Each structure stands twice: as C-alpha cells, then as structure tokens.
Amino acid sequence: MRKIYLGVLALYLGILSSHAQIGKTVVKDTSNYESRRLKIDEINFVSAYYHQDGNNSAVTGGIGTEKLTDFANTFDLQLSKYSASGKKHTFLFELGIDHYTSASSDKIDPNTISSASMSDNRIYPSLNWTVSNEKTGNAFGITGSYSHEFDYQSVGGGVNLTRVSKNKNTQFDFKAQVFLDKWKVILPVELRPPGYGSGSDREDHSPVDHKPRNSYSTSFSISQVIDTKLQALFIVEPSWQHGLLATKYQRDYFTDGSERVENLPGDRYKLPVAVRFNYFPGDHFIIRTFYRYYLDNWGIRAHTAEIEVPVKLTAFVSVSPFYRYNNQTGTRYFAPYGQHNPADNYYTSDYDLSTLHSNFIGANLRLAPPKGVFGWQHLNTLELRYGHYMRSTGLNSNIITLAMKFK
Amino acid sequence: MKKRARFTWLLCSLLTGTAFSSCQTVKAYQKNKLNDSEMELSARKAQKFEQSFQLYREGGSGANGGKSGGGCGCN
C-alpha cells in the first residue's frame, strides 16, 4: 500500500515538475517579448573634408580655376519600436550640413568682392518611416526630405518596399523617389538683361527668375546569397529629370567669338545598371567588387569598376585599400573653350560632362572592438577613409572622411 | 558604340544570371562569414561623400547607393 502511495506521490510530483517545466517555458517566452518602447538602434556621424583643384572651370567657359573646398557632415539617428501586432517600426532621421567655397563661382561677377555663390551652406534634413513584418519578411516605408542652399531648394518624397525570402537568402528592394526643386537663375554679370538682379540679397534686390528642376527616380535591386562565402547584388536605377538642367551662370564661347550662357535639354533620362560581388575567401581578407554601366539620352556612356580588399589585422581591426576606375564618353553637347558652333541649340563647356577617365585610390581603416572604440562602449565602430582622385582633364582632389557609429 | 553597349548588357546579364542560378541554400548558422560587417552589400557609410563628389565630377551617376537627386550642391 505504501508503495502505491509513494507511486501516487511520485506521479503527483512528476505532474508538478512538468507544470514547472511549462512554467519555465512561459518565462522563456516572456524573455522573447519585444519591448514596445521607442529605442535608439544606432547613431551615425559622418564628416568629410574635400578639396579639389583644376583648370577647366565651367563658369568661365572651360578655362580657369576649379578650386573648391567642401566640409560636409551628416548625423543620423535610427529609432525603432514594436507595435501591438508585432510589427517593427523604424524611424531614420538624417540631418546634413555642408559648407563649401568655390573659386569659380566667384567669377560669376568678378567685379564684386564676393559674388552670390562664392561660399555657401547647404542643409538637408530627411525622415524615413519603415514598417517591417519580421515573420513575412515584408517591409514598407515612406520618406520625406528637404534641402536648402542659397540659390536652390528641394522638397522630396519617396516610398520603399522590401521582400525577403523565407530562407533569408534573397532580398528584393524597390524604391521610388520624387524631388521637386526650385533654382534661382543667377546669370554671369555681363550677360544679365537690363534690370535683372545679381541674385544676391546683400547687393541688390532686383528680381531674378526661379526655375523648377524635378527628378523622378526608381530603384530595383535584388541581393542574393550564392554560397557560404559569396553574395551578390544587382541593381537598376532608371531616373528622369525635367526642368532647368543647365547651370545658367556657366558661360560658353563660340567659334565666332560670341558668348552665351550654358544651354542643355530640359529632359534627361538616365539608366545605370550595377552589380556588386562580395567574397570572403579566407580568414584574413575579403574582396569587395563593384561594376556599373551608365547611359543617358545626352549621349553619356560610362563604365565604373571598383575593388576594395579589407585585410583583417585582427577580428576587430581592418585596413581596406581600394581602387576605382571610371571611363566615360562625354555628351554630344560638350565643346572646349571657344569651340562651340554658333548654330548649335545646346552647348556646354562643363568638363564634368566631357569624355574623360578617372582613377581614385585610397584606404579605409575600420575599428570595431567588442568593448567599444578606445574603450568607450557606446562608440561601436570608427572608420577613417582617405582617397585621392585623378581625372584625365587635370582635375585632382583629396577627400578624408571620418565615420562613427554609436550604439 | 551601340554594339559595345549591347555586349556589356549581355555580359552583365550572363554573369549575374550564372552567379544567381548557381546559388546554394545557406542556413542561418552557416552565415558567419556572410554576416561579417565587411561583407555588407551596401556601400560603406564613409563612402557617402565620395559618391556625392563623384556624382558632380562625372556625368554618370546612380546605382551605387549615392545621391540620386534633391538639392544641387553642384559647384
């Protein structure tokens, strides 16, 4: 009888312990519960100093200094929260501030001490809100953006869609963006009609024209895991620009000695197609490659190839030398200083649109120790990047960038 | 030139098609190399301003995660 009692007691304890197991499982589930409070995912700060020099300024018709400096900074803040239905809401706020000085812009009106666009600040905030369902792999987002310069304003909006496959090896992304821009039409001093202003509020308040420049772009991309060491990305970005696409303070000189302001078609269709392959062959280095083919209806065709080889000095420190080559066939509207045909409808002496090739070489240092950079836990990653750019037209530039990620 | 462009398109499609069609199913636990931060398929954050100046200094642009419109910054 005692054995029976003991058996019943053991059974009862067994049931209790099995309940205890269930109870433990419940505790485990609770630990998987995602907080619905808004939390900071990451903060990024990127700062760059850029300097260029050359002797083919478009403002003076393809001759003269192209000296320019730009100090550019962006700050972005990514926040997220889970809704009651379990969907993740991500908010990405970005603020960019640039300060640049341009020696060629000072030639718009060489008689003044400093003309309208000799130095300027550009400020550009944007906000993206994306809702993603981690169970289905679908995400949908909207973006709003604004940009302000002395002579240029832009208001933008866009949508983005993401679809991730069940095994998470394939990802499809779609993006559509619209930028509605307004440009103050500043003319070279000698080509201003009577009564037309300089564009500078400091000098005079005579009226100037304002023209729209609108951009509509879409982006389709598919990323694919190919094997345990290789993954690829294929991307197509058709876009269309409409409005004032010429820069009206840029001069053009013709074979008959006449001078006019730059004139280019009011529509531009662009079609870049690109592919990236990233390969991790061993423990110490990675090969990152990029290739792009570009064509547009102004006659520009370009090939761009890039290779970067991150070498892992330790698991958390890497140095990545990189090289980029670009080769482009220029627009049919381009001619150098004094070589435009007076009968042409469209003309530019902007060497950015000419036939050229360029080399860009540099290195990227990346620190991402587990205890934080310099022992500061919140500073998750620090990157320092330097690049030297050499263009076949004689333009050279240097850029140094510092990027910090806080978590 | 048209022939060259067509050839480039064909080559790109072939390469990408071949790469994508030879994909393995890689499980989450096999992705330790793919999840390395250096393997990210997007451009580095530190490349942001490089792509921006290249956009202005060269006629071709887009498809690299850089700026594709909005605001001039074009001096």
What is the pLDDT at residue B35? Answer: 86
What is each CA distance from A153 to A75, A210, B24, in whole angstroms?
20, 10, 48
What is the pLDDT at residue A298? Answer: 95
Check pLDDT > 80 for residue A16: no
In a domain, A90, yes or no: no
Q: If 0-12 CB within 10 Å is exposed, 13-18 middle and 19+ buried, where does residue A264 land? A: buried
ipTM of the complex: 0.82
Check pLDDT > 50 for residue A21: no
Q: How far is A334 from chain B (nearest CA, A)?
A: 12
Contacts of B47 in chain A (CB under 8 A): 385, 401
- Candidate from A101-105, A253-257, A319-323 with smallest mean pLDDT: A101-105
Task: Render pLDDT for A154-164 as a digit per residue (tens, 0 to 9).
Answer: 999 999 999 99
A176 or B74: which leads in pLDDT: A176
Length of chain A: 407
Task: Render pLDDT for B36-67 as a digit per residue (tens, 0 to 9).
Answer: 888 999 888 899 899 988 988 999 887 665 55
Cα distance between residue A198 and residue A205, in whole Å = 8
Query: Which among B45, B60, B73 has the least Cβ separation from residue A46?
Result: B45
What is the pLDDT at residue A37? Answer: 85
Contacts of residue A93, defined as CB under 8 A and 6 or more positions apart, other chains included, come to A76, A77, A79, A125, A126, A127
Question: Quick check: A397 and B57 CB within 8 A?
Answer: yes
A21 or B74: which leads in pLDDT: B74
Contacts of A275 in chain B (CB under 8 A): 12, 15-16
Mean local confidence (pLDDT), A182-189: 92
Question: Quick check: A290 and B28 CB within 8 A?
Answer: no
**In chain A, whose CA is at the least distance from the CA of B36?**
A280
Q: If 0-12 CB within 10 Å is exposed, 13-18 middle and 19+ buried, where does residue A106 land? A: buried
- Candidate from A8-12, A31-35, A146-150, A196-200 with smallest mean pLDDT: A8-12
Contacts of B28 in chain A (CB under 8 A): 168
A160 CB neighbour count, 10 Å cutoff? 17
Q: How far is B63 from chain A (nearest CA, A)?
A: 6
**In chain B, whose CA is at the least distance from the CA of A221?**
B63
Write down the domain spans for chain B.
1-58
Indicate which of B24, B45, B48, B51 best probes the interface with A, i.e. most A CBs within 10 Å of its own CB. B45
Indicate which of A280, A348, A355 best probes the interface with B, i.e. most B CBs within 10 Å of its own CB. A280
- Domain range spanning residue A323? 124-406
Contacts of A273 in chain B (CB under 8 A): 9, 12, 63
In a domain, A89, yes or no: no
Task: Render pLDDT for B12-37 as a digit per residue (tens, 0 to 9).
Answer: 566 656 656 667 788 888 888 888 88
Query: Which among B30, B56, B57 has the least Cβ separation from residue A228?
Result: B30
Q: How far is A106 from chain B (nearest CA, A)?
A: 11
Q: How far is A123 from chain B (nearest CA, A)?
A: 9
Residue B53 near residue A50, CB atoms below 8 Å: yes
Check pLDDT > 50 for residue A333: yes
Query: Which among A229, A231, A403 has the least Cβ separation from residue B45?
Result: A403
Indicate which of A98, A293, A365 best probes the interface with B, i.e. most B CBs within 10 Å of its own CB. A293
pLDDT over 90 percentage in chain A? 74
- Candidate from A17-31, A178-192, A345-359 with smallest mean pLDDT: A17-31
Check pLDDT > 70 for residue B75: no
Indicate which of B2, B38, B48, B64 best probes the interface with A, i.e. most A CBs within 10 Å of its own CB. B38
Query: Confidence class of residue A48 from pLDDT cuts 50, 70 and 90?
Result: very high
Return the ∠ at Cα A253 (arms to A252 and A255), rounded to 5°: 140
Counted across chains A and B, CB pairs separated by less than 8 A come out at 236
Query: Confidence class of residue B6 from pLDDT cuts 50, 70 and 90?
Result: low
Q: How far is B50 from chain A (nearest CA, A)?
A: 7
Cα distance between residue A386 and residue A399, in whole Å = 6
What is the pLDDT at residue A179? Answer: 93
What is the pLDDT at residue B34? Answer: 87
What is the pLDDT at residue A325? Answer: 98
What is the pLDDT at residue A115? Answer: 54
Give the CATH number of the domain where residue A225 resides: 2.40.160.40
Check pLDDT > 50 for residue A27: no
Mean local confidence (pLDDT), A146-169: 92
Structure tokens of A108?
A: 């718009």
Q: Is A245 helix (H, G, I), strand (E, B) or coil?
A: coil
Phi and psi, residue A234, nearest 5°: -120, 130
Task: Render pLDDT for A375-401 as a digit per residue (tens, 0 to 9).
Answer: 898 999 999 999 999 999 999 999 999
Q: Smallest Cα–Cα separation from A338: which of A393, A262, A256, A395? A: A256
Cα distance between residue B45 and residue A185, in whole Å = 33
Cα distance between residue A357 and residue A302, in whole Å = 9
Question: Quick check: B68 and A46 CB within 8 A?
Answer: no
In a domain, A35, yes or no: no
Question: Quick check: A50 and B49 CB within 8 A?
Answer: yes
Question: Quick check: A52 and B53 CB within 8 A?
Answer: yes
What is each CA distance from A119 to A3, A147, A163, B54, B75, in whole angstroms?
96, 16, 44, 20, 10
pLDDT over 70 percentage in chain A? 89
Check pLDDT > 50 for residue A7: no
Task: Render pLDDT for A276-305 as a digit per residue (tens, 0 to 9).
Answer: 999 999 889 999 999 999 999 999 999 999
Q: How far is B14 from chain A (nearest CA, A)?
A: 12
What is the pLDDT at residue A35? Answer: 65
Check pLDDT > 80 for residue A243: yes
Contacts of A387 in chain B (CB under 8 A): 50
Cα distance between residue A259 and residue A340, in whole Å = 10
Task: Render pLDDT for A75-117 as a digit per residue (tens, 0 to 9).
Answer: 999 999 999 899 999 999 999 999 988 887 778 887 765 555 5
Cα distance between residue A86 and residue A269, in whole Å = 41
Count of structural domains, chain A: 1
Question: Quick check: A50 and B45 CB within 8 A?
Answer: no
Check pLDDT > 80 for residue A9: no
